[in-house]
Chain A
Amino acid sequence: MTTDAVSRSSTANQNEETIVRYTFFERINHWIGAVSYTYLLVTGLAFWSPYLYWLAAVVGGGPTARFWHPWFGLIFTLSLFVTFVQWRGDMKINDADRAWGRAIPDYIENHDEKLPPVGRFNFGQKLFFWGIFYSVILLLLSGVALWYTETLPWSLRFLRFIAILIHSSVALITIGLFLIHVYMSAVLEEGSFGSMIHGYVTRAWAWTFHRTWYYDVIGKPRP
């Protein structure tokens, strides 16, 4: 990134100066994915358990939910594909990530100062991304078999058996990833949620959580 991303504020306190973390297009794409995933979660949970079937009523009733669930799945897949194109470089797992991964107890206990510096995304974020990426491939394949289940001939019924198991168990994995993602970004790490709304983080935030990326943005050689 160029130094244009750094605000031209002349304030003495560099900590509060902001730098761009997510571009407008990245943010729009993220929220298309977030809204479509939330719809998939609500309708999927309605189909998952009779105790949650009322969730279908919230989004227009069972038949409506059944009709739109696959279409929202396609929207989410498309949004994820755009994310992949945007971030596949930033999501490569490197040696710094592996060192960070070994120090993960410090991350869990909020001793972030003990962690090795990381780039734009840390190891946890990369695992989240690739977890969702491969899950969606499986959800898409099994989802097509469930979408047009009536077109599968009786002799290929084993595909339905496999599809319902894959679709439900992989969906559970994404729910786990989703819960962690929402907790970390909207609750735990202050400044994260806003950055996905307006695109900016403070220099101090970037220095604290993504130091390698911070040095790259401000154009200073990594120490």
Chain B
Amino acid sequence: MSQAATELIRISGHAGVVPGKGLNREFTVCKLVDTTTCIGCKACEVACLEWNGYTFTETTFDNTYQTMPETAWNYWNLIKFNEHERADGTMMLLMRKDQCMHCADPGCLAACPADAAIVQYANGIVDFQEANCIGCGYCMTGCPFNIPKFDPPSRKVFKCTLCNDRVTVGLEPACIKACPTGCLHFGTKSEMKELAETRAAQLRTNSGFQDAGVYDPAGVGGTHVIYVLHDAKNPELYGGLPRDPQIPWSVRLWKGPLKWIGNLAMVGGIVGMALHYMRFGPKKEEPIPPNENNNNNERRV
């Protein structure tokens, strides 16, 4: 958070203690999305567009209130609407604000080959630096949440910044500011985790949601966007939220063992060839033995 730049350590010509020194403040930020109090108003979608300056994109009607099937390169915040029929036959409208989860172990960053096209700040925000993006789309392969989106004309990939520009100057993200029901919260990771657990416990004891819980998946090291779900045992119900998101095994294999096997093989091959040349030297042509006179000029017409 922005406090990192305001917490003083030393002050010149100053009598006495340094105010604020050693607060040991937690800088990690977190967005809490309480799906149980979301009314699907889409104020967050509009606020996201407004703040980031994108024009409204064409919507797709799919018999729900959902704006479009999935987030787009210039539409980073999308409420996913899902009709869910419960065991007793009643219907629930599950609404989840879909956006970048800002993983502690980001698959996009692991897969990215371009120097500094994706950075992770100490406060937990994972941010794309489009100036360095080469448009390969490997981040789309690495992400377990289907978040990075490619813009063909600019050949760059975009996604939610967690309003990094606002957060650095001490503001909350635009979506948080716009939420009318207070289902969106913003603070440090531990504060938000505590608030989420309190809310989940409340849902379990007071509202009859036995399986209510917090979605903060460990497979990607935890996330800096967490959810309170009525049914944390079935996150898939909320528009395909993965139960156990992981960086894909093929990305792990490619960026891990395969890289080292490949590098060793390439260097080993070059060294091996140099040694072969020094040991056995060049291959030279041998003269044709005189008894094998192949001069066939006289056979020509």
A180 touches B250 (CB 8 A): no
List residues of B (273-295) whose CB comes within 8 Å of A's CBs. Answer: 273, 276-277, 280-288, 292-295
Smallest CB–CB gap between B167 and chain A, Å? 28
Q: How many Å from the CB of A74 to the closest CB on chain B?
A: 17
CA distance A129 to B134 in the complex (A): 33
Asked whether, in the complex, the Cβ of B155 is within 8 Å of the Cβ of A190, the reply is no
Residues of A within 8 A of B292 (CB): 207
Where chain A touches its partner, the secondary structure class is: helix
B258 near A165: Cβ-Cβ < 8 Å = yes
Q: Which of B258, B259, B296 contacts A220 (CB 8 A)?
A: B296
**Assembled-state Cα–Cα distance A176/B293 (Å):** 40
Which B residues touch A66, using CB under 8 A?
Answer: 134-136, 155
Instruction: Give B279's nearest chain A residue, CB to CB.
Output: A109
Q: Which residues of chain A are near B300, meaning CB under 8 Å?
A: 3, 8
Is residue B186 contacting chain A, with contact meaning CB distance below 8 A?
no
Please give the distance in Å from A183's CB to the nearest CB on chain B: 4
Contact with B along A21-61 (1 / 0, CB 8 A): 00000000000000000000000001111100100100000
Is B141 in contact with A160, judged by CB distance below 8 angstroms? yes
Contacts of A141 in B (CB 8 A): none
B4 an interface residue at 8 Å Cβ cutoff?
no
Contact across chains for A188 and B283 when beta carbons are under 8 A apart = yes
- In the assembled complex, the CB of B89 is this many whole angstroms from the nearest CB of chain A, namely 30
- Closest chain B residue to A148 by CB distance? B137
- Cβ 8 A contact of B299, one of A49, A180, A219: A219
Contacts of B140 in A (CB 8 A): 149-150, 160
Closest to A161 in B: B250
**Complex: A146 Cα to B141 Cα, angstroms:** 10
Q: Tell whether, in the assembled complex, residue A53 and residue B258 are in contact, meaning their CB atoms are under 8 Å apart.
A: no
B297 sits at the interface (CB 8 A): yes
In the bound complex, residues from chain A placing their C-beta under 8 Å from that of B293 are 14
Selected contact of A8 from candidates B132, B152, B297, CB within 8 Å: B297
Q: From A76-84, A94-102, A167-175, give the one contacting chain B.
A: A167-175
With a cutoff of 8 Å between Cβ atoms, the chain B residues found around residue A187 in the complex are 273, 277, 282
Closest A residue, CB atoms, query B151: A150
User: What residues of B have a CB within 8 angstroms of the CB of A172 in the complex?
Assistant: 258, 262, 265-266
What residues on A are CB-neighbors of B170 within 8 Å? none
B273/A179 in contact, CB under 8 A: yes
Q: Which residues of A contact B122 (CB under 8 A)?
A: none
Q: Specify which chain A residues have a CB less than 8 angstroms from the CB of B35 in the assembled complex.
A: none
Q: Cβ of B197 < 8 Å from any Cβ of A? A: no
Q: Is the CB of B277 within 8 A of A207?
A: no
CB distance from B80 to the nearest CB of A (A): 13
Q: Which residues of A contact B269 (CB under 8 A)?
A: 176, 179-180
* A161-B141 CB under 8 A given contacts A15-B288, A179-B270, A179-B273: yes
A204 touches B287 (CB 8 A): yes
Q: Which residues of B have CB within 8 Å of A202?
A: 285
Q: Which of B138, B270, B288, B299 is the most central at the interface, judged by chain A CB atoms within 10 Å of its CB?
A: B288
A 180-205 binary contact with B (CB < 8 Å = 1; else 0) = 10010001111100000000001111
Known: A190-B283, A207-B285. 12 other contacts (CB 8 A): A3-B296, A15-B287, A110-B283, A149-B140, A168-B258, A179-B273, A180-B269, A188-B283, A191-B285, A204-B285, A220-B294, A220-B296
Using a CB–CB distance below 8 Å, which chain A residues touch chain B? Answer: 3, 6, 8, 10, 14-15, 46-50, 53, 56, 62-63, 65-67, 108-110, 112-113, 146, 149-150, 154, 157, 160-162, 164-165, 168-169, 172, 175-176, 179-180, 183, 187-191, 202-205, 207-209, 218-220
